[in-house]
Amino acid sequence: MRAVTEISNNHEFSMRIRKVLQGTLMPFIAILIALAIGAVILIAANFNPLQAYQAMYLGAFADFSSFTEVLLDATPLICIGVGLAVAFRCGIWNIGGEGQFYAGAVTGTAIALYAPALPGWILLPLVLVGGAAGGALWAMLAGYLKTRFGANEVVTTVMLNYVAIIATSYLVSGPMIEPRGTYPQTAQIPDGARLPLIMPPTRLNLGFIIALLLAVGLYLLIFKSSTGYAIRAVGINPEAAHYAGIQVKKNILLAMAISGGAAGLGGAMQIAGVTYRLFQQISPGFGFTAIAVSLLVNNNPLGIILAGILFGGLSTGARLMQMNAGVPAVLVNVIQGLVILSVVAFGAYRILTMEREE
Amino acid sequence: MDVAVILAFVSGILAATWRMATPLIYASVGEVFAERSGVINLGLEGIMLVGAFNAYTAAFYSGSLWLGLLAALFTGVLLGLLFAFFTVTIKANQIVVGTAFNLAGSGISGFLFESIFLKSNYSSLGIPTFNDLSFPFLTKIPYLGDILFHYNILVYITVLLVPLASFVLYKTAFGLAVRSVGAHPKAADTMGISVSRMRYICVVIGSVLTALGGATLTLAFANQFVEDMTSGRGFIALAAVVFGGWTPWGATAASLLFGVFYALQLRVQAMNSVLLPYQFLQVLPYVATVLALISVRHRAGSPKALGVPYRS
């Protein structure tokens, strides 16, 4: 009890510095570890890792126009990622971002195609809100199955991913196929339903700005509002939250609605801003990449902006790496998995060292 | 439709059921061990995929299907140890680690398949597969012969596997230790049972059987690897464990039920008179899985310490 305040202040200060350093450095180290293991895999498959990574880097960051493509890829990752962060913070393992993205893309396209006469200032917002609603409902289905029947949400959200993807495949080859078309795709959506370009001639559009606003909005919701407090309380300990008077089931459904809504908005914006029509493979796996995006930064929506851009860069770069160096782009999935494992290992290491210090 | 047509249709479906259920039976019976010991392995999908790929690669280069199986077995051991290291030793969140396994498993199998096989000029990527056995007399019984006696060896191994798994889990000291570690780890620990060791063993058992289940896809059903060819079977196996009440026989029955939907899909697709767009059939196993999960409302069979890392 002697060396009271000074030492404990000092200790607290150094602990805090270390925490901040670990918090910001950790994601970078995790990526480096993943890339290093990726290099070993590249060597094993007879590729030159330096060449491969250089092609990847140049593909993403060679010049400004390729960087706008990165931001274009980052947009859906940020939308889905911040949505997942809300669910993860609530202790709900929503693996269904992919399906919710499809649900949003389908509803958004349907609104754009079947109400084309509306003026643009109504049509575009309607497409986006409709997409969000579609994604929210799709996610709430899994939330309802969990709260009502206790069905494990990991399995149900994965199953609902398949259902959404198969349903999309049916819609674009049947009921929604473009008139007089033979390809399984819908007609192009009208001009009034499209997101305006913000930096022509690049394809970057208002969707990216909306994604940023969404991230900031959900950051405020999770960390600065009583709703967010309740959601986090349920995630940390549902029983304690229940005894504190928080409605656990209601918050789970709410978190799933927000989560799916964000993913659905991402889906609608992909149609309204990038592809202008719906087809089978509208997502190259955004919903799964977004899981890594959110976990990398400990489910913090502001961090997800950066993580989304980083992973957008990885996928954009990987496509160029495949074209220029002949390295299969699917390597990125390995790197995503390894990033999660590195983050997990760091987290566990931190807990172990904390336990030792206590 | 007359009776003979209906009989042929039904027996056709039943004849494909067991075959379609086989990878699910391997994976879900294995996962019963992991979950009974308290670890939920959400990485089954990724492990199954890598098992399928490694079995295919080994069989392709060695020409031996048995070496393919051996490769799947080693894959299962390694991935099981890795999963247990993350979830048991460093006590990481089991769902997060499982998700990482699925991403990485899909990535590594796809990457290696593309860079080893698709970039080479092999004239054929096919491998010979395990032949269907034929039994004297039995195979020729009408209907019954088709339903029970025309499968390959990997399907028949399940006839031994399931009773064996059930026996080990319920009639041996080892099985008792597994169940106690999953239900009351603290009590088991006090009794001198090493919680970590039991969980390592059970995760590896689950992972090995899942990888073998993946091997059945490439060595017996298809004759080559296809990217993401498991298409959700790892998750459906997880649902089979729950639907089957965390017992080997229950998981097997659930797998057979899901197998019916896969078989129905195959059967109706094969008929030329297509009544429905194929997507309606394609979606069946996934919808059935969700329905199965919500129909088991009693959680009685669930191991009490499932998903909770043990801290002594």
Sort B1 into a burial class: Cβ within 10 Å, 0-12 / 13-18 / 19+.
exposed
Q: Establish if B92 touches chain A: CB-CB under 8 angstroms.
A: yes
Q: Is A206 on the interface with B (CB under 8 A)?
A: no
The full DSSP string for B97-138 is HHHHHHHHHHHHHHHHIIIIIITS--S------PPBP--TTG
Find the mean pLDDT for residues B286-301.
Answer: 80
Is 60 exceeded by the pLDDT of residue A4? no
* Rounded-to-integer distance, Cα B182 and Cα B180, Å: 5
pLDDT grade for B37, boundaries at 50, 70 and 90: very high
Q: pLDDT tens digits for B200-227?
A: 999 999 999 999 999 999 999 888 999 9
Each residue of A299-335: pLDDT tens digit?
999 999 999 999 999 999 998 899 888 899 999 999 9
Is residue B272 predicted with pLDDT exceeding 80? no
Contact present, A297 and A303 (Cβ < 8 Å): yes
Question: Which DSSP category does A184 fall into?
Answer: S
How many Å apart are CA A280 and CA B114, to the nearest integer? 22
Task: For tokens 């798994």, name the residue.
Answer: B165
Percent of chain A whose pLDDT exceeds 90: 66
Question: How many Å lie between the alpha carbon of A328 and the closest alpha carbon of chain B?
Answer: 6
CATH number for the region B3-119+135-295 comes to 1.10.3470
Cα A329 → chain centroid: 19
- In this predicted structure, what is the pLDDT of residue B312? 67
Q: What is the pLDDT of residue A29?
A: 87
Q: What's B312's DSSP letter? A: -
Residue A164 has pLDDT above 90, yes or no: yes
Taken in order A192, A193, A196, A200, the sign of the CA dihedral is negative
Would you call B232 an interface residue with chain A, using a CB distance cutoff of 8 Å? Answer: yes
A160-164, A279-283, B301-305: segment of lowest average pLDDT: B301-305
Q: Which residues of A touch B114 (CB under 8 A)?
A: 328, 330
Do B114 and A330 lie within an 8 Å CB cutoff? yes
**Distance between first and last Cα of chain B:** 65
Which B residues, 22 through 51, put their C-beta within 8 Å of a C-beta on chain A?
42, 46
pLDDT at B1: 58
Residue B258 at interface with chain A, using a CB cutoff of 8 Å: no
Are A330 and B108 within 8 A, CB to CB?
Answer: no
C-alpha pair distances (Å), A265 with each of A97, A161, A192, A207: 11, 16, 17, 9
Confidence label for A1 from pLDDT (cuts 50, 70 and 90) = very low
Q: Show residues of chain A in contact with B102, CB under 8 Å.
A: 288, 337
Cβ-Cβ contacts under 8 Å, A151 against chain B: 290, 293-294
pLDDT bracket for residue B16 (50, 70, 90):
confident
pLDDT level of residue A355 (50, 70, 90 thresholds): low
Chain A's closest residue to B278, CA to CA, is A170
User: Is A175 touching B (CB cutoff 8 A)?
Assistant: no
Interface of B with A in 171-200 (CB under 8 A): none
Q: Compare CB distances from B111 to A95, A334, A345 and report the shortest one's residue.
A: A334
pLDDT(A276) > 90: yes
Q: Hey, which residues 274-333 in chain A have their CB within 8 Å of chain B?
A: 288, 291-292, 295, 326-328, 330-333
Residue A156 buriedness (CB in 10 A; 0-12 / 13-18 / 19+): buried
Q: Does the beta-carbon distance from A159 to B86 stay under 8 Å?
A: no
CB spacing of B279 vs A344 below 8 angstroms: no
Q: How far apart are CA A46 and CA B77, in angstroms?
A: 26
Structure confidence at residue A19 as a pLDDT band (50, 70, 90): low
The beta-carbon neighbor of A152 closest among B86, B232, B293 is: B293
Task: Find the CB nearest A155 among B103, B115, B293.
Answer: B293
- Poorest-confidence range of A61-65, B145-149, B154-158, B255-259? B145-149
- Of A158, A174, A348, which is closest to B91 when you measure between CB atoms? A348
Taking a C-beta distance cutoff of 8 angstroms, is the pair A81, A290 a contact? yes
Confidence of residue A2 (pLDDT cuts 50, 70, 90): very low
Output the pLDDT for position B297.
Answer: 65
* Reported confidence tier of residue B238, pLDDT bands at 50, 70, 90: very high
Domain boundaries, given as residue ranges, for chain A = 48-326
Q: Is the pLDDT of residue A24 over 80?
A: no
Contacts of B106 in chain A (CB under 8 A): 330, 333
- In CATH, the number for domain A48-326 is 1.10.3470
* Overall average pLDDT of the B15-19 stretch: 88
**Chain A residues near residue B283 by CB distance under 8 angstroms:** 162-163, 166-167
CB-nearest partner of A337 from B101, B239, B277: B101
Residues in chain A within 8 Å Cβ distance of B239: 152, 155, 159
Between B71 and B296, the more confident residue is B71
Asked if B111 and A41 come within 8 Å (Cβ–Cβ), the reply is: yes
Mutate to test the interface with B, among A89, A93, A98, A155 (most CBs of B within 10 A): A155
Residue A33 has pLDDT above 60, yes or no: yes
DSSP letters, B196-263, are: HHHHHHHHHHHHHHHHHHHHHIIIIISSS--TTTTTTHHHHHHHHHHHTTTSHHHHHHHHHHHHHHHH
Q: Chain A: nearest CA to B42, how far in angstroms?
A: 8
For chain B, the domains span: 3-119+135-295
For B128-149, give one letter per residue: b (16+ CB within 10 A) or e: ebbeeeeeeeeeeeeeebbbbb
CA-based nearest distance A331→chain B, Å: 6
For residue A337, give the nearest of B104, B238, B297 by CB distance. Answer: B104
pLDDT of residue A48 exceeding 60, the answer is yes
Q: How many CB pairs below 8 A link A and B? A: 146
Report CB contact under 8 Å: A340, B242: no
DSSP letter for A346, please: H
